[in-house]
Amino acid sequence: MIPYDFGAIERALPYLGEGMLFTLKLTAFAFVGGLVIGILLAVIRHIRVPVLDRIVWTYVTVMRSIPLIMVLFWFFFLVPLVLRKFSPEGLSVSVSPQLTAFVTYTLFEAAYFCEIIRSGLLSVPRGQYEGAKALGLSTWHAYSLVIVPQALKAVVPIMVTQAIILFQDTSLVYVLSLTDFVGAASKIAQRDGKLVEFYTFAAVVYFIVCSAFAELADYLRQRRQAKSDVRAPTPIAVTAAS
């Protein structure tokens, strides 16, 4: 067997912990922010607001067509420019790479959430909207109290999957020389020459965390399918849990 220096990993845990903290913060921020903006974009597209609809469509299509690394490069170039332009005169705005990363991932996720939630909105029966309107609820209330909650419930499993993908995608901040969990592992690995130990350790950590959440997503999906009485052809898979 090849020699494996567990001690090196143990010593590096604090630093790795910091990297993981950044990963978690970025994931949480982008998930929540992306979700909120995504809901807004999805509703705009769903009710077909005249001009905004086209703008949102363009935005979402572009975001989903370019590699995330390319989006990161674009935003790193554009965000400081934009922020500096719109900030008050005399106020020297230093835009940290971390801030840009947070903004970029949020806006990137929003595009994906938009499509997910749109499919959720489409799955809510039209009668719900009519029932709400017939009671006199305004469009705002009809959507916020009746339609959107049901749409979100319908796509919870897909959202958990998207969260897992986001958690993994944060590793790409590497290209911006930011230190997330992978970045931290990489830095120490290069510095101490212990590539095997640190990269495999990072892989194991991600594997455990993502597998756990993937099981959760599967469980939610199966619970949903058990609830809805859909007459579908008997699936061939030996067991659902195989």
Nearest distance in Å: CB 63, other proteins:
11
| d(C-alpha 186, C-alpha 173), whole Å | 12
CB of 98 or CB of 150, closer to other proteins: 150
195-198-203-204 Cα dihedral, nearest 10 degrees: 140
Q: What is the helix (H) or strand (E) element at residue 69, kind and residue range?
A: helix 68-86
Burial class for 44, CB neighbours closer than 10 Å (0-12, 13-18, 19+): middle
CB of 68 or CB of 89, closer to other proteins: 68
Question: 38 and 106 in contact (C-beta within 8 Å)?
Answer: no
Binding to other proteins, residues 69-88 (CB under 8 A): 69-70, 73-74, 77
| d(C-alpha 158, C-alpha 120), whole Å | 10
Judged by CB under 8 A, the residue of 41, 121, 172, 188 near other proteins is 172
Judged by CB under 8 A, the residue of 52, 68, 83, 216 near other proteins is 68
CB of 48 or CB of 88, closer to other proteins: 48
Binding to other proteins, residues 87-116 (CB under 8 A): none
Judged by CB under 8 A, the residue of 137, 156, 216, 220 near other proteins is 137
Residues 6+ apart with CB under 8 A from 113: 34, 35, 37, 38, 39, 41, 42, 159, 162
Which residues form the interface with other proteins (CB under 8 A)? 2, 65-70, 73-74, 77, 125, 127-128, 130-138, 141, 145-146, 149-150, 153, 164, 168-169, 171-172, 174-175, 182, 186, 189, 195-196, 199-200, 202-203, 206-207, 209-211, 214, 232-238, 242
